[in-house]
Amino acid sequence: MADTTTSAPRARRIGPVNLRLWLPLLWIALVIAAAIFAPLLAPHDPLEQDLMLERLPPWFIAGSEPGYWLGTDSLGRDVLSRMIYGARIALIVSFTAALAACVVGTAMGLIAGFYGGWWDRVISRLVDIWMAFPPVLFAVLLVAVLGTGLGSVILAIAVIDWTRFARVIRAETMVQARMDYVDSARIGGARRMATLISEILPNILPSVIALLTLEMGIAVIVEAILSFVNLSISSDDPTWGAMIAEGRGAIHFAWWVLLFPLISLFLTVLSFSTLGEGLKRHFDPVLQ
């Protein structure tokens, strides 16, 4: 009887967690597949213009043309093709910038939390100063100084968002450094750096993975904001932010130019955020 009563609540908890993990993973996998196989999936060249086909409606509205499933924009460019190629830019920025911010921030957080002393004071003050600036405005300023381009966008996001990792990983490291297994490693003669890498880092890795996933969603939305204000890559290249900016001016007579990339951006950011929360709940024994 005891086994029956204890297993039922556990089964109820597992279902939502799995759903929280698999639904965003499914959408992210679709976006990744679209980005990788864009030349095969896109029905048209995303840069091809035809003013005779401007602002065609999507396939489910009267007046649409075969082959233009989500309609065209004001220059006659296929919306679906531009969305598929725009996924490439979004994912390149999200993975590269988030990984760079993760490596720098995690290293700084580990050093500050484990060594303490003046290491902790210097890094903590640096994080406080960095986080005093509004992140989006700081990103716009950096890109304006560095110049537009994919590299500048990635560098700007990484330079700004390493502090998110540093602050959380510092706190996690301070907790782990007081555990008995760390004292056992020191008594056994392990060097401090070896203890940090081989003992503490594996125990905070779940938090790092969850933060990395959340940061990918933040990187996607920051890139979209920079594209919206024409501070990302070339304005002719397809990005979700640039498509949203273009569609905003034609929302009353060509709403599909704005709506479809906006939905893609929303679902991608939501999926990364939900996946990060799901991973945190999955790995964190306290939350379980």
Q: What is the pLDDT of residue 92?
A: 93
pTM for the structure as a whole: 0.84
Q: What is the pLDDT of residue 97?
A: 93
Domain span including residue 255 = 88-283
Q: Is residue 26 part of a domain?
A: no
Q: Is residue 65 part of a domain?
A: no
Q: Is residue 156 part of a domain?
A: yes
Number of domains in the chain: 1
Q: What is the pLDDT of residue 187?
A: 79
Q: Is residue 183 part of a domain?
A: yes
Q: Is residue 25 part of a domain?
A: no
Q: What is the pLDDT of residue 190?
A: 75
Q: Is residue 23 part of a domain?
A: no
DSSP string, the chain: -HHHHHHHHHHHHHHHHHHHHHHHHHHHHHHHHHHHTHHHH-SS-TT---GGGTTPPPTTSTT--TT-TT-B-TT--BHHHHHHHHHHHHHHHHHHHHHHHHHHHHHHHHHHHHH-HHHHHHHHHHHHHHHTS-HHHHHHHHHHHH-SSHHHHHHHHHHHHHHHHHHHHHHHHHHHHTSHHHHHHHHTT--HHHHIIIIIHHHHHHHHHHHHHHHHHHHHHHHHHHHHTT-SS-TTS--HHHHHHHHHTTTTT-THHHHHHHHHHHHHHHHHHHHHHHHHHHH-TTT-
Q: What is the CATH number of the domain that holds 267?
A: 1.10.3720.10
Q: Is residue 249 part of a domain?
A: yes
- Tens place of pLDDT per residue across the chain (288 aa): 444 444 444 444 445 557 778 889 999 999 999 999 999 999 999 998 888 888 889 998 888 888 899 999 988 999 999 999 999 999 999 999 999 999 999 999 999 998 888 999 999 999 988 888 887 788 888 888 887 788 888 988 898 889 989 999 999 999 888 888 887 877 777 788 888 888 888 888 888 988 999 899 999 998 898 888 888 776 677 899 989 988 888 888 889 999 999 999 999 999 998 888 777 776 655 455
Q: Is residue 48 part of a domain?
A: no
